[in-house]
Amino acid sequence: MYQIRPEDKACIEEFRKTPIGHHSPNLQRILNLFRGEPMAGKFALICTRPHREWTLAVLSGTRGERIRMTEEVFHSLEEAEWYVFKQRWAKYTGEHLSD
Amino acid sequence: MKQIMGYSDKISVRPGEAIRFMVSCEKASSYKARLVRIIHGDTNPEGPGYKEQAVKSEFDGTYKGRKQAIFAGSCAVIPSHPAFDKLSSFSVQAMVWPTTPEKGRQTILSHCDAKSGAGFIFGLDESGGLALALSDGTGKTEEVRAGKPMLSREWYFVAASYNAVSGEVCLYQKPMVPYAKVDTSARVEGTVTIKPRNENGAPVVIAAHPVRMSDGRERTSAHYNGKIDRPILASRVLSRLEMEQLRSGGPPASLHAALVGLWDFSKEITTERIIDVSPNRHHGETLNLPARAMTGWNWTGEEMCWKHKPEQYGAIHFHDDDLYDAGWDTDFTFTVPAGLRSGLYAAHVATEDDEDFIPFVVKPERGKATSKLVFVVPTASYMAYANEHMATDATLAELLTGRLATLQATDVFLHEHREYGYSCYDTHADGSGVCYSSRLRPILTMRPKYQSWLGGKGSSLWQMNADTHITDWLEALKFDYDCITDEDLHFEGYEAIAPYRVFMTSTHHEYWSKQMWDALDAFKKAGGRLIYAGANAWYWRIAYHQTKPGVIEVRRAEGGIRAWAAEPGEYYHSFTGEYGGLWRRQGLAPQKMAGTGFSAQGFDLSSYYRRTKDSFDSRASFIFEGVGKDELIGNFGLIGGGAAGLEVDRADRLLGTPPNALVLASSENHTPVYMVVLEEILINAPGLCGGESDLVRADLVFYETPSGGAVFATSSIAWAGSLSHNNYDNNVSRITANVVKRFLDERPF
């Protein structure tokens, strides 16, 4: 599994600017790590108002077992991506990114 | 949470024919129903918005709401018979390949009363070991257990005998493959005091046992996951040697009198029948379509086709989540009136806080086409994706889309209600692939307004709702069109499309039976014109069941992008005996049908096409009328922001693209989430992503056929998502309209 390196911090700003779309190889490698997490405990979005509102949820990874809705609500997909990126960055590096 | 949902008994009807609708309400005591013509199911505010046309019908009105449940899980049932009731001493045996021995109690073979439990249940206990439970019907049960759990996905000989005189029970659990230091074999002798009451009028049930529900209906319970091969029931205590003699081949004459039933699942594999080859002929039927044509305990690996060595395909793979027909009671019926315009319709049913659309196609009266263009609604592909669970079950979902998996209320409901059944992209709870998919259940992913996690950023549409981008465009530009479905193409063949000049595909017409393929091939050979308005079509070969309506089979054999892999030796369809898998692996790559075929996929953003030198060829000038020579094509759209995206196809002479084909434009600048399809990869090496590989592209292709027809291929699932841009005034719409107009013109190419 890829281990995030100190020099990968340069990818944070790149992600913040373009969370969905073309990425540098370094950022893509980090995203492959983040987005390839197992299903139990994995973040997902639940659309709560079509095209307008999405609520962060945590997948159970077990068939039939409830998906947990969080209180985090977003009004753009980019906003949601940045929030989850920060959570995952902290999980893998211990570093908490500010907004 | 979904509050209302339903399904219909048919998916395609013509004037004069009746279609039944079955509806379930979670809580509401009433709901309203009405008929709508579906025009545009996309609710994206960036596009034209949701559009439907209300049509007065005989079923418009208010109905009583009620909850209708689904009971998933397959089994085989042999109707009750005095021979089963007369059992006193008995023996039961089978070869089994359990896939979830740890799951809890699972029945291999039972003869017990649904209400009292009287009789016996032969199966796995909570620990996963063999057990025989005997019950006298007064609430008393005694059980003898092997005491050792079986290993998953290993063949076992399992047997039990009961001596009614002595009360002696013998159990045998013998693995076919022994392992050092892991001994799962058991031979247990015990004595019971109970007198099991087999005089209970019950059927013999394999892979489950009957229970009575609170509503008085009989259902089945303790469904077994895994394969069962050659189950046998005998009316006396058989010796271990006699059991061994029955394990293969024809039963010796000396044991005929003792046999009650010997069910040979290698007989009549294409059907739901199970055949008792004992002299008693106690035949039965499977319920909820467990998988047949499965390798048996004696499969040697030397023969891959079940038709050639059926005796090695005596296993049926049962699943506790198999589902064929939800079996709901009918709420209302609609007889299609004469003159109802052909198209995509739905019964819209709504409670105060939720709604559902039950879609179906109205086709023209037989032999009376009302247009020269037919839009073929890919119902087989809709069924292959029916109720898919990848966003909640498959780790790769977020990697494929390059963004967080976005779920709808529907997806959450399907995650929690597994009894609604699976798609051919899912695995069963035991990890085996789902090879059958039925439409006789609510297919909640086949709905207008439904957004799919797989449908690209923006509108996020996939399959049926994405195809409404095409119906909307046809309506907006006032092109007449008829609709038919894959089922019409399959069952009626060329006749279903012979009256038309133009055959227009959907955005993702992926699943084709041989009959469908042959019909379209005949259409092209007769001078018909094909507009391939999507990508990744003619990919998987499917089979329709030969007698049961509304169910397809897919075997994910050998190559291709597969959500699961068929087991070795299980590549041939059970419904027909035809070889399954990719059409490309059967010598019929999509390039042979439409000049292009699946080349790469990615599900984040879409891109654009750039014109090539071929686009300035005079043969193609009609296509580019009104399009500037330097214009990028489709650098806009509702599906991923461009016309080239999601799944994309390319021309390839070596795979069958005709030598006269013009590659008019190619897409470029795809993101690194796009990757080359697996069937192109022989030796895996870096350089397979968008921006790296030349195979990550969509080719816009045109060519003439020898009989005066022509083919135009857009090669992108996202193409249709760009049609409505700028109020339908854009180069994707213009190119498509130029092609439709010229293709409708009878002048030969």
Distance from C-alpha of B177 to C-alpha of B185, rounded to nearest angstrom: 10
Do residues B488 and B380 make contact, with C-beta atoms less than 8 angstroms apart?
Answer: no
SS (H, E, C) B262-289: EEECCCCCCCCEEEECCCCCCCEEEECC
Whether residue B460 is contained in a domain is answered as: no
Question: How far B538 CA lies from chain A's nearest CA (Å)?
Answer: 29
- In-domain check, residue A99: no
Backbone region of residue B528 per phi and psi (left: phi > 0; alpha: psi in -120 to 50; beta: other values)? beta
Instruction: Determine the Cα angle at B220 with ends B217 and B225, to 5°.
Output: 160
**Rounded-to-integer distance, Cα A78 and Cα A19, Å:** 6
Token duo for residue B135? 């019950």
Instruction: Please state, in angstroms and rounded to a whole number, the distance separating the CA atoms of residues A39 and A62.
Output: 8
- Whether B456 and B438 have beta carbons less than 8 Å apart is answered as no
Give the separation between CA B410 and CA B451, rounded to whole angstroms.
9
B692-738 residue pLDDT tens: 999 999 999 999 999 999 999 999 999 999 999 999 999 999 999 99
pLDDT(B274) > 90: yes
Contacts 24+ apart (CB under 8 A), A60-64: A63/B389, A63/B393, A63/B415, A63/B418, A63/B429, A64/B415, A64/B416, A64/B417, A64/B418
Residues B299, B209 share a domain: yes
Q: Is residue A98 part of a domain?
A: no
Looking at the structure, do residues B312 and B332 belong to the same domain, yes or no? no
Closest by Cα among B362, B598, B384 to B481 = B362
User: Could you report the per-residue pLDDT of B90-133, keeping only the tens digit for each?
Assistant: 999 999 999 999 999 999 999 999 999 999 999 999 999 999 99
Looking at the 3D structure of chain B, how many domains does it have?
2
Q: Distance between CA B451 and CA A50 in Å, rounded?
A: 9
Q: Do B605 and A46 touch (CB under 8 A)?
A: no
- pLDDT in the model for residue B213: 86
E-assigned strands of A22-87?
43-49, 53-58, 68-74
pLDDT (tens, 9 = 90+) of chain A, 99 residues, equals 899 999 999 999 999 999 999 999 999 999 999 999 999 999 999 999 999 999 999 999 999 999 999 999 999 999 999 999 999 999 999 999 988
Residue with tokens 């909307």: B472
Q: Which domain holds residue B150?
A: 75-318
CATH of residue B8: 2.60.40.1930
Q: For position A99, what pLDDT does the model report?
A: 81
Q: End-to-end CA distance of chain A: give it in Å, rounded.
A: 27
Query: Rounded CA gap, B345 and B36, in Å?
Result: 6
Here the ipTM equals 0.98
Q: Which residue in B394, B404, B407 is closest to A81 by CB distance?
A: B404
Residue B534 lies in a domain: no
Structural domain containing residue A85: 6-93
Residue B341 and residue B231 share a domain: no
Subunit contact B415:A36, Cβ cutoff 8 A: no
CA distance A6 to chain B (A): 23
One domain for residues B135 and B232: yes
Q: For residue A24, tell me if it sits in a domain.
A: yes
Residues B192 and B302 placed together within one structural domain of the fold: yes
Do residue B31 and residue B118 come from a single domain? no
Please give the span between the terminal C-alpha atoms of chain B, in angstroms, as a whole number: 54
Q: Which tokens go with B141? A: 């049960």
Number of separate domains in chain A = 1
Mean pLDDT of chain B: 97
- Is B654 inside a domain boundary? no
Q: Do A57 and B407 touch (CB under 8 A)?
A: yes
Give the span between the Cα atoms of B60 and B649, in whole angstroms: 44
Task: Report pLDDT digits (tens) over B7-60.
Answer: 999 999 999 999 999 999 999 999 999 999 999 999 999 999 999 999 999 999
Kindly report, residue by residue over B75-88, the tens digit of the pLDDT.
999 999 999 999 99
Across the interface, whether the CB atoms of B395 and A39 are under 8 A apart is answered yes
Q: Which of residues 24-83 of A touch B (CB under 8 A)?
A: 25, 28, 31-32, 35-39, 42-47, 50-51, 54, 57, 59, 63-67, 77, 80-81
How far is B601 from B607, CA to CA, in rounded Å? Answer: 12
Residues written for chain A:
99
Same domain, yes or no, for B150 and B287?
yes
- Give B-chain residues touching A81 at CB under 8 angstroms: 403-404
Residues paired with B134 in a beta bridge: B120, B142
Q: Are residues B29 and B90 in the same domain?
A: no
For residues B238 and B147, state if they share a domain. Answer: yes
Indicate which of B403, B422, B607, B675 best probes the interface with A, i.e. most A CBs within 10 Å of its own CB: B403
CA distance B576 to A41: 42
Q: What is the pLDDT of residue B248?
A: 85
Q: Is the pLDDT of residue B195 over 90?
A: yes
Own/partner long-range contacts of B163-170 (Cβ < 8 Å, ≥24 apart): B163/B89, B163/B237, B164/B88, B164/B89, B164/B195, B165/B89, B166/B191, B167/B191, B167/B192, B167/B193, B167/B194, B168/B237, B169/B132, B169/B134, B169/B144, B170/B237
Strand partners, B512: B541
In sequence order, the β-bridge partners of residue B61 are B33
Is residue B354 a contact partner of residue B23, using CB atoms and an 8 Å limit? no
Q: Which residues of A touch B398 (CB under 8 A)?
A: 35-37, 42, 44
**Residues B440-489: tens digit of each pLDDT:** 999 999 999 999 999 999 999 999 999 999 999 999 999 999 999 999 99
Residue in B50, B398, B413 to test binding to A, most A beta-carbons within 10 Å = B398
State the CB neighbour count (10 A cutoff) for residue B590: 30
Domain membership of residue B156 (yes or no) is yes
Give residue-wise pLDDT tens across range B220-248. 999 999 999 999 999 999 999 999 999 98
B392 to chain A, any CB pair closer than 8 A? The answer is: yes
Cα-Cα-Cα-Cα torsion B594, B597, B603, B608, nearest 10 degrees, comes to -60
Q: Which residues pair with A55 in a beta bridge?
A: A46, A73
- Verify that B314 and B333 share a domain, yes or no: no
Helix/strand/coil for B727? helix
Q: Which member of A20, A25, A36 has the closest CB to residue B399? A: A36
Tell me how far apart the alpha carbons of residues B408 and B352 are, in angstroms, rounded to a whole number.
19
Q: In this model, does residue B250 exceed pLDDT 90?
A: no
Indicate if the pLDDT at residue B139 is higher than 90: no
Same domain flag for B174 and B53: no
**Strand B597-611 to B662-668 pairing:** antiparallel
Q: What angle do CA B405, B408, B410 make, to 5 degrees?
A: 125
Based on the domain organization, do B89 and B13 belong to the same domain? no
B1–A contact, CB cutoff 8 A:
no
